[in-house]
A and B are shown apart, each in its own frame.
Chain A
């Protein structure tokens, strides 16, 4: 079970996924709030966020993790990820361009499965990391 994207004989350590970039909007945050049920006003209510000393609303950490997950599954195929972990390094802000960087760091066979390890990061246009993490995916076939 899993979408076939990578081919075991062709994947190599150091291979990188195509970079995906997205300019964060307030609408993204409202949509994510509605889909996830996270209605912390810091993520959708500009007045409340500024009253709390923030320059504006800021992104849900889990929106960023979800955005990076979309880039990850585009690369390794839906249904193949066996582990996905991130550290939330910095807040994200509307109008920042968030770009993914996904690199294969390992290739191994374990318990009859062909696996690749990956480093995954999401950063803004100034190169500030927002999410730093790692993942493992099975490569079918």
Chain B
């Protein structure tokens, strides 16, 4: 048991700094407006390019939590970087824990916006694991893994949004 605990700790320490992936996404009007509907925003800025321009935008901007979902709609297969890492260090650490049962929880989420994401953007991401640790709480083992994904503008290279994702396994 002690050996098992030590090796799990080594696994966690070993994944800090490892890349979680690279992606390229297209930001399109239909999915952005559909997403605004789904988070129950009624703002015309998310729907009408004239309303967006009147508010000072070049194009329709995306709601704040869109970056968490934009790979679903916009990660077109043929534009993905050839050197995107395969496999995920996050799954390497969580996989064996999940196999033993327990619960995976989304603990925290943070976005830092360098500029608004807008329809027409082509964004590229690089992600890495920034922290991984375990602690005991109320007789449960809690495993925390934090990853950070930096999205930037594919044309200019300027930073657009940083997303921090905190995943917890509790068993």
Q: Does B38 count as interface, using CB distance less than 8 angstroms?
A: yes
Stretch of B21-29, B67-75, B150-158 lying at the A interface: B67-75
Q: Does B41 count as interface, using CB distance less than 8 angstroms?
A: yes
Q: Does A93 count as interface, using CB distance less than 8 angstroms?
A: no
Interface size on B, residues (CB 8 A): 36
Contact of B68 among A28, A36, A78, A87 (CB under 8 A): A36
- Which residues of chain B are within 8 angstroms of A79 by Cβ–Cβ distance? 45, 55-57, 61, 116
- Which residues of chain A are within 8 angstroms of B65 by Cβ–Cβ distance? 62, 65-66, 69, 84
A residues 37-84 near B (Cβ < 8 Å) are 37-38, 61-63, 65-67, 69-70, 72-74, 77-79, 81-84
Q: How far is the CA of A108 from the CA of B8 in the complex (A)?
A: 44
Q: Does B43 count as interface, using CB distance less than 8 angstroms?
A: yes
| Count, A-B residue pairs, CB within 8 A | 119
CB distance from A1 to the nearest CB of B (A): 5
A73 touches B107 (CB 8 A): no
- Which residues of chain B are within 8 angstroms of A73 by Cβ–Cβ distance? 41, 43, 63-64
CB distance from A103 to the nearest CB of B (A): 18
Q: List 10 A-B contacts (CB under 8 A).
A: A1-B115, A3-B43, A36-B68, A37-B73, A70-B40, A73-B43, A73-B64, A78-B55, A78-B116, A79-B57
Task: Using A32-B38, A70-B43, A82-B113 as known contacts, list a sample of 9 further A-B pairs with CB atoms less than 8 Å apart, ordered by residue number in A.
Answer: A3-B55, A34-B38, A35-B39, A37-B72, A37-B73, A61-B109, A65-B109, A66-B38, A88-B106
